[in-house]
Chain A
Amino acid sequence: MDNITLKTHTEAFNNALSKTSKPPKAGAFSASLTFGWRALLKIKHVPEQLFDVTAFPIMFILMFTYLFGGAIAGSTGDYLQFLLPGILAQTVIMLTIYTGISLNNDIRKGVFDRFRSLPIWQPAVLTGALLGDVLRYSIASMMIIIIGFILGFRPEANITGIFPAMVILLIFAFSFSWIWTAVGIIVRSQETLYTLSFIIMFPLTFISNIFVDPETMPPWLEAFVNVNPVSILVTAMRGFIHGGVTPADIAAVLLVSAALIAVFGPITMYLFRRQK
């Protein structure tokens, strides 16, 4: 009738609309994987999200190694061996903030509403995103390790020690992400989320054993640093990479991870269900 109509009255349109047969519902696992696939696509389309968070750690490696390395550890080379596992942990822990940011984005933009109105296992939105995150953590870690090697990082134990160190880091990060899923649902604005993440992340990563050996600190600070979950993680990672990891180190990380999930998992699910 008029050219404004475009193709809406054509065969293509009616054909697309007349498909009433529906495939069987996607299962929980399949839905999670699909959301994981979405997270991958997001990395492809917004690669900046990886560089944003790796830029700082790379700066830290260079700055701390060359500026303070001599003073802290006697030589820059020695300091790099000490620092790298910690920086690896810091990078990935910082990346967990993005879990909250992207969730918060989805909620504010309305994409989340669409997902929630689909007949799928509802928590798949969260588990899928977390699966995607694990991949992001791996990519960022690879970048840090490669730069480390270029600068002269050499694992003392065995190069294969890096792998269990990575595994334990990913377990910890996955658990830690649940803090941000909860925060991402509650917080209204992006700005608040950033502010909050800085307030939490800076003390947690700096008042730890990432940069300096806690034995050099005053006792009250040393006490705090030693119970900081980040320190517990970094101790185990150093143990794997440079040798000397104990079962107690590993158990401590797993315990902290389990505790994080036990606390923040249910909180997130509760908030998710009553999300307005």
Chain B
Amino acid sequence: MHSHNSTTTDQLPAEQFNKARQEPSPAIVAHNLVKVFGETRAVDGVDLSIPKGKVYGFLGPNGAGKTTTIRMLATLLQPDEGNATVFGHDLIKEADAVRSRISLTGQFASVDDDMTGMENLTLIARLLGYQRKQAAVRAAELLQAFDLEAAANRQVKKYSGGMRRRIDIAASIVNSPELLFLDEPTTGLDPRSRNQVWDIIRALVSNGTTILLTTQYLEEADQLADRIAVIDKGKIIAEGTAGELKRSIGGGSLHVRLLEPEHRSPAEQILAKNLDSPIRLDSDPAALSAQVNDTKKVIAALGELEKAGIHIAGFSMGQPSLDEVFLKLTGEPAHHTEENEEMANG
């Protein structure tokens, strides 16, 4: 069934492709999804194959098309082109079957903030067919699980950001969905609340739920997602595990800290020449970093610095962070097409 899934599989390294092939029916398969709003091609030909029981991350900057893609997959928006199946059910023709197996936590609170936490959960439970009593039981059960018992009878608008996010996710799992969409579940949360949400996500996955989450945070994708699709301007520009994405952009990166910040400009020139790659000036005025494709060049480059009388306070070599992957993929419009090719060829 993957035979016509050509674009996605082209982006996968051969081993991945074979693995994906062996895995039985993915949770989501999408072909060439397109959504146009006026002049904006919000989603511009997205192919997906999302495995069951894992966390799949959409990583992309503001306006990349993450929410629009999720809204199409959650049956809220009709694609202008392309099609998709969720657990084998066609998005459009079998929308109801899709809806009974998914749940959505939108980017902005999707609970009623005039109502209490208890009322919100009871409402969803009733709509899903629970009788009055069972609905109350289910709501109480979830409030307890999400540590919201104390706030059960308080209006959601009086909740803190973290509590709000928790009640929102709780409302999404009333029906124990097989697939949960989480649109930027931790945006705006403090680290403590964010960790709570991460724990919830991990617990959900260990209970067998497939999760599709979007995020602008690389750390979050790195921490949670088994596979990541980097989305920019409505297109998937890279796809793979965090490790694959990092490896795909080359050897790693060199971070250099100079003794004297005034030397940064000549140092930049020397490094650029010797490493043959663009140099990034860090926020620290004495620091620079660069992509390294060939480690051997590093020693020569550092030697050149020394020769020019530029003293180094320290340097380090690192695996590229997902941050760098992201920047390289999305932040350099001049190299845009070139990189797409690179990614496509693995």
Task: Tell me, yes or no, whether A binds B.
Answer: yes
Contacts A4-B192, A26-B127 given; 14 further ones with Cβ under 8 A?
A6-B199, A7-B146, A12-B141, A12-B145, A13-B203, A16-B141, A17-B204, A22-B128, A22-B175, A23-B130, A23-B131, A45-B115, A109-B110, A118-B127
Q: How far is the CA of A276 from the CA of B36 in the complex (A)?
A: 11
A45 surroundings in chain B (CB, below 8 A): 114-115, 155
List residues of B whose CB falls within 8 A of some A CB.
37, 71, 74-78, 96, 99-100, 102-104, 106-115, 119, 123-124, 126-131, 134, 138, 141-142, 144-147, 155, 171-173, 175-176, 192, 195-196, 199-200, 203-204, 207, 209
B142 surroundings in chain A (CB, below 8 A): 16
The 7 A-B pairs at the shortest CB distance, nearest first, are namely A119-B100, A16-B145, A23-B129, A114-B110, A119-B99, A110-B106, A110-B110
A8 surroundings in chain B (CB, below 8 A): 145-147, 196, 199-200, 203
Select A34's contact among B127, B173, B196, beta carbons within 8 Å. B127
The answer to whether B200 and A118 touch across the interface, beta carbons within 8 angstroms, is: no
Q: What is the chain B residue whose CB lies nearest that of A118? A: B127
Q: How far is the CA of A106 from the CA of B112 in the complex (A)?
A: 8
Q: How far is the CA of A113 from the CA of B74 in the complex (A)?
A: 9
Select A25's contact among B78, B129, B131, B146, beta carbons within 8 Å. B129
Which residues of A in the span 3-48 have a Cβ within 8 Å of any Cβ on B?
A: 4-9, 12-20, 22-26, 30-31, 34-35, 37-38, 41-42, 45-46
Does A224 lie at the interface of the complex (its beta carbon under 8 Å from any beta carbon of B)?
Answer: no
**Nearest chain B CB to A166 CB, angstrom units:** 28
Q: What is the chain B residue whose CB lies nearest that of A1? A: B199
Q: How far is the CA of A22 from the CA of B97 in the complex (A)?
A: 14
Supposing A18-B207, A24-B129 touch, asked if A114 and B111 sit within 8 A by C-beta, the answer is yes
The answer to whether B104 and A23 touch across the interface, beta carbons within 8 angstroms, is: no
Supposing A8-B196, A22-B175, A114-B106 touch, asked if A119 and B147 sit within 8 A by C-beta, the answer is no
Q: How far is the CA of A46 from the CA of B155 in the complex (A)?
A: 11
Q: How far is the CA of A119 from the CA of B101 in the complex (A)?
A: 9
Q: How far is the CA of A9 from the CA of B202 in the complex (A)?
A: 10
B207 surroundings in chain A (CB, below 8 A): 14, 17-18
The answer to whether A111 and B110 touch across the interface, beta carbons within 8 angstroms, is: yes
**Nearest chain A CB to B251 CB, angstrom units:** 35
Supposing A17-B173, A113-B106, A117-B99 touch, asked if A31 and B127 sit within 8 A by C-beta, the answer is yes
Q: What is the chain A residue whose CB lies nearest that of B209? A: A17
The answer to whether A118 and B128 touch across the interface, beta carbons within 8 angstroms, is: yes
The answer to whether A4 and B155 touch across the interface, beta carbons within 8 angstroms, is: no
* Number of residues of chain A lying within 8 A (CB) of chain B: 45
Q: What is the chain A residue whose CB lies nearest that of B108? A: A110
Does A120 lie at the interface of the complex (its beta carbon under 8 Å from any beta carbon of B)?
Answer: yes
Q: What is the chain B residue whose CB lies nearest that of A11? A: B145
Which residues of A in the span 91-110 have a Cβ within 8 Å of any Cβ on B?
A: 106, 109-110
A31 surroundings in chain B (CB, below 8 A): 127
The answer to whether B145 and A13 touch across the interface, beta carbons within 8 angstroms, is: yes
Does A154 lie at the interface of the complex (its beta carbon under 8 Å from any beta carbon of B)?
Answer: no
Q: List 19 A-B contacts (CB under 8 A).
A: A4-B199, A6-B199, A13-B203, A14-B207, A16-B145, A26-B126, A26-B129, A31-B127, A42-B112, A42-B115, A45-B114, A109-B109, A110-B107, A114-B106, A116-B76, A117-B102, A119-B96, A119-B128, A120-B128
B130 surroundings in chain A (CB, below 8 A): 23
Q: How far is the CA of A17 from the CA of B207 in the complex (A)?
A: 7
With most chain A CB atoms within 10 A of its CB, the pick from B130, B144, B172 is: B144
Supposing A113-B106, A114-B106 touch, asked if A23 and B199 sit within 8 A by C-beta, the answer is no
Q: How far is the CA of A1 from the CA of B116 in the complex (A)?
A: 31
Select B99's contact among A15, A23, A26, A118, beta carbons within 8 Å. A118
Q: What is the chain A residue whose CB lies nearest that of B98? A: A119
**Nearest chain B CB to A216 CB, angstrom units:** 45
With most chain B CB atoms within 10 A of its CB, the pick from A13, A16, A26, A120 is: A16
Supposing A110-B107, A114-B104, A117-B103 touch, asked if A274 and B78 sit within 8 A by C-beta, the answer is yes
Does A149 lie at the interface of the complex (its beta carbon under 8 Å from any beta carbon of B)?
Answer: no
The answer to whether B171 and A114 touch across the interface, beta carbons within 8 angstroms, is: yes
**Nearest chain A CB to B180 CB, angstrom units:** 11
A118 surroundings in chain B (CB, below 8 A): 99, 124, 127-128
A120 surroundings in chain B (CB, below 8 A): 127-128
Q: How far is the CA of A45 from the CA of B110 in the complex (A)?
A: 18
Contact with B along A112-137 (1 / 0, CB 8 A): 01111111100010000000000000
